[in-house]
Amino acid sequence: MTTLPAAPAVPRAPEQTGRFWADLRRHGHHPAVVTDAADGGTLSYADLADRVDALADRLGPTRRLVLLAGGNDLDTLVGYVAALAGGHPVLLLPGDNAGHVDAVVAAYDPDVVLDGDGLHERRPGTRHDLHPDLALLLSTSGSTGSPKLVRLSHTNLASNAGAIASYLGIRRTDVAATTLPLHYCYGLSVVNSHLAAGATLFLTDLSVVDACFWEAVRAHRVSSFAGVPYTFDLLDRVGFAGMDLPSLRYVTQAGGRLAPERVRAYAEAGQERGWDLFVMYGQTEATARMAYLPPDLAVASAGAIGVPVPGGSFRLEPVPERPLSARDGDLTVGELVYRGDNVMLGYATGPGDLARGREVHELRTGDVARRRPDGMLEVVGRRSRFAKVFGVRVDLDEVERLYGDRGHVVHVADLGDRLLLGVDASARPADPEELRAVAKEAVGLPRTAVDVLALPEVPRLPSGKTDYRTLVALAGSGARAATTADPAAPGGGRDDRSAALRAALAEVLGRDVTDADTFVGLGGDSLSYVEASIRVEAALGTLPAGWHTTPVGELAGRPATPARRGRTLETNVLLRALAIVMIVGTHANLFVAVGGAHVLLAVAGFNFGRFHLTDAPRRERVRHVLGSVARIAVPAAVWLAGVALLTGDIGWRNVLLLNGVLGPTSWTEPAWWYWFVEVLVWTLVALAGCLAVPWFDGVERRWSFWLPFGLALAGLLTRYDVVELSAGDEIHRGTVVFWLFALGWATVKATRLRHRLLVSAVAVASVPGFFEDGPREAVVVAGVLLLVWLSSVRVPDVVARAAAVLASASLYIYLAHWQVYPHLEDDAPLLATLLSLLAGIVFWKVASRAGNLLGTHAGPRPKPRARASQV
């Protein structure tokens, strides 16, 4: 392990230290912000402080989670600083992606939303447990497609702003143009460092290719701007190196590796024109910057990331899986590990994580670096950017450099069993055979191990970095150029995704679908969700959070991302599939694994809370619940009527799903076989009646977790016989087992850690002793805990599809298996199990098809297909 010394301390002026958001007025009437006249003209620091104070007052004294969705404009800047000044953790998002904003709102449930339409207070006070150090939440690496966020503290922001202002030597007279989005950590660091130094921001969303941008640069005497590698591609197009910009002092570059020859060229151009080039290195997880290359070394040490920022340090940790290459020679190589006050608190994947404090003390960057003979650090790849193809271990970043040495602009991705070469056709036409020949010569891969994709435009993240996920998705969408070099190959655009999504939902739900529709709004429920989620993931490459309540048009507007190996399988779906197999296999004497039906009750409660308790009006909620009741009760009644007519084993009480109320009090076969369906139907009917009462509906909206949790506690009164509502068989009666349904409902509303702990505690405490059967009780407890703590798993595609079919058909399997397995359980239990499952799947397919045919003749907006909604 090699430890690299920290850079020498750089003296900081007093105005470059401290928390800038609380220090605005000290800069008095010096210009803080310059904008277009229509957006406010010039604001002094005093003016900015007035606006910040006014908004901070509106946000109130109670710390709340503020979601800020905006752009490079004054309102966004004021909202950001006001949240910090008021002590409110702020979740910063781009304002031009409504679908993503809605998904994050659904995932994190902010107390306040600030966007282009103003301040939207979703509730007084807060429902979150917010750690005192938490200040800012940002998407990782400039990505806007994931609910995973970086948690940053006030110390992180202040220390990194001060360090950047110090090594850049930012002056009060400097004016920085906002050439990068404010929601991107690099763009935000420009704001933070200049406000910390008392300098001026030129707020703009103009591109560097716009002529009016350069007019504004001259008019406002802009002294600096920031760029990612793609920005420098655009600068090349407009002839930036030859521009006369007398006010320009320096240009900064980060957000990805700029080729050494380009670093030299820009550094030399700057020397001729009187400005400096600062090459910088950072990650969102380090607030922004971790290293910089001093301008006087940019020519001699092009390719290096330089030295740590003031207050930071690096060490290199060995990477066993990466052997030294010829480029490395005998230099020290390892993973770059950074330590400093700007290292994040940790990650967040849901609102419960917002209560966490510091969990990270040093940042494992994932970058593989080497220490050069001149003492500078140079990043040579990513630990995650390795692939194994045909038994050959391949460094994807090294392959990109090899092609770059031969004059090709190639972006390399891993397709599992082969490499994908995404070729920038605007730089040089893609010749698949030539590119494959290079792979064989330089990497040792056979031609069949290389796919070539001609790109009329390289997909990029908001940070400007190559979007490898979308690259892989484009390859899978039919845009692959394995035998041709057509630069106009299709790219799976928004219209294609919209058509695919509408077709998928129409097929699953049996309804006409428009871009304005949502899955839930179309009558989608828990079983149709399973099949629909598989198809949505196939169309988009991933399964966005909250997709089931997001309009189709907004989903289609998101950039496609590549499907990773396997599929995302939600835990409730997996539990449904496992539970129905357990039920059938146990009844058929294949094995003994009891408890599946009671796990399904908790899953049913989970899905009730998820699909029926949306923000829809009360009457629509009631209609949705009753629709699900019909989609369970109708096929069940039809099947049971047929059984009654053909066998005479059951009577009208079973057909009407009233055996639990009017039938024998103790377990009697076959009368009690269908207890689960009865419990589910009448539980939903009762809850529909409750939701029809305005008071109950209002309580649910205000106390979305505490209502079902309270009902679960109330349900324990019958579970422990404090209140006796029935006699005889208790473990199969709805009035007794309701507490399990309510626990599942509370689980989906458990947005905080303490909520999850409470649900877990009740499950662990209340299930033992109920069945007087240890293994069964362990199964039920495990099922509830999995619902609470594990939202999804990644499984092979074949497992996901099998689970999806079993979960979707679970109601029909439950109904049908009673007529199949008894004939085979003694002699062929495996065959009895398989045929029972198959019979239920066939029943499901026939019922679905019948429902679809009936729906398509009902008018322009047919009814949903007949489907079970909860089992």
Q: In terms of pLDDT, which residue wins out, 749 or 130?
A: 130
**334 and 415 inside one domain:** no
In a domain? residue 863: no
AA letter at 97: N
Place 76 in a pLDDT band, splitting at 50, 70 and 90: very high
In this prediction, residue 854 carries a pLDDT of: 55
Backbone angles phi, psi at 715, to 5 degrees: -65, -20
Return the pLDDT at 477. Answer: 52
Same domain, 728 and 820: yes
pLDDT confidence bin for 19, thresholds 50/70/90: confident
Virtual torsion, Cα 790, 795, 801, 802, nearest 10 deg: -80
Please identify, among 329, 347, 377, the residue that sits at the C-terminal boundary of a domain: 377
Query: What range does the domain containing 389 cover?
Result: 385-479
Separation CA 543–CA 782 (nearest Å):
26
Last residue of a domain, one of 377, 402, 424: 377
Q: Output the pLDDT for position 210.
A: 85
| Count of structural domains, the chain | 4
Place of tokens 């689960």: 676
Beta bridge partners of 569: 793
| pLDDT score, position 591 | 94
Look-up of token digits 């391949």: 394
Residue where one domain finishes, among candidates 543, 564, 585: 564
Say yes or no to pLDDT of 131 above 90: yes
Q: Same structural domain for residues 681 and 797?
A: yes
In a domain, 864, yes or no: no
* pLDDT tens sequence across 678-721: 999 999 999 999 999 989 988 888 888 999 999 999 999 999 98
Asked whether 598 and 740 are in contact (CB, 8 A), the reply is: yes
pLDDT at site 483: 31
Q: Label residue 532 by pLDDT band (50, 70, 90).
A: confident
Residues 124, 160 share a domain: yes
pLDDT digit string, tens, across residues 353-364: 999 999 999 999
- Is residue 861 one of the residues assigned to a domain? no
Q: What is the pLDDT of residue 865?
A: 31
Give me the mean pLDDT over the 213-237 stretch.
91
- What tokens appear for 286 in the block? 């380090």
What is the reported pLDDT for 565? Answer: 61
In the predicted structure, residue 257 carries a pLDDT above the cut 60: yes
Both tokens assigned to 161: 């702003």
Distances, alpha carbon 505 to alpha carbons 83, 183, 526, in Å: 40, 33, 14
Give the strand pairing for 2-4 and 313-317. antiparallel
* pLDDT tier at 610, thresholds 50, 70, 90: confident
Confidence tier at 568 by pLDDT (50, 70, 90): confident
Question: What average pLDDT score do residues 330-350 get?
Answer: 88
pLDDT digits (tens, 9 = 90+) for 463-492: 667 888 788 777 765 433 333 333 222 234
SS3 (DSSP) at 364: strand
Helices (H), 720-828: 734-748, 753-766, 774-789, 797-808, 810-817
Same domain, 367 and 449: no
For residues 283 and 405, state if they share a domain: no
SS3 category, 4 = strand
Residue 701 domain flag: yes
- By CB atoms closer than 10 A (0-12, 13-18, 19+), residue 25 is middle
Per-residue burial over 705-724, b if 16 or more Cβ lie within 10 Å, else e, is bebbbebbbebbebbeeeee
Domain check: are 591 and 455 in the same one? no
Q: Is residue 94 part of a domain?
A: yes
Q: Are residues 425 and 464 in the same domain?
A: yes
SS3 category, 822: helix
Res. 845: pLDDT tops 90: no
Question: Average pLDDT of 93-120?
Answer: 88
DSSP string, 324-347: --TTTTT--EEEEEEESTTS-SEE
Torsion, Cα of 226, 228, 229, 232 (10° steps): -30
The structure's pTM equals 0.51
Name, in order, each residue with C-beta under 8 angstroms of 636's C-beta and a sequence gap of 6 or more.
657, 674, 677, 681, 811, 815
- Indicate if the pLDDT at residue 562 is higher than 60: no
**Cα–Cα dist 409/866, whole Å:** 53
Q: Are residues 419 and 551 in the same domain?
A: no
Tell me the pLDDT tens digit for each residue of 287-324: 999 999 999 999 999 999 999 999 999 999 887 755 54
In a domain, 604, yes or no: yes
In this predicted structure, the answer to whether residue 241 has a pLDDT above a threshold of 70 is yes
Full DSSP string of 296-314: GGTTTTTT--BEEPTT-EE
The percentage of the chain sitting over the pLDDT mark of 70, rounded to a whole number, equals: 86
367 shares its domain with 470:
no
* Sequence letter at residue 266: Y
Residue type at 678 in one-letter notation:
E
pLDDT number for residue 56 = 95
- Measured in residues, the chain has a length of 871
Statement: residue 393 has pLDDT above 80: no
The answer to whether residue 1 sits within a structural domain is: no
- Tell me, yes or no, whether 485 lies in a domain: no
Residues 372 and 397 in one domain: no
Q: Say yes or no: 558 and 585 in one domain.
A: no
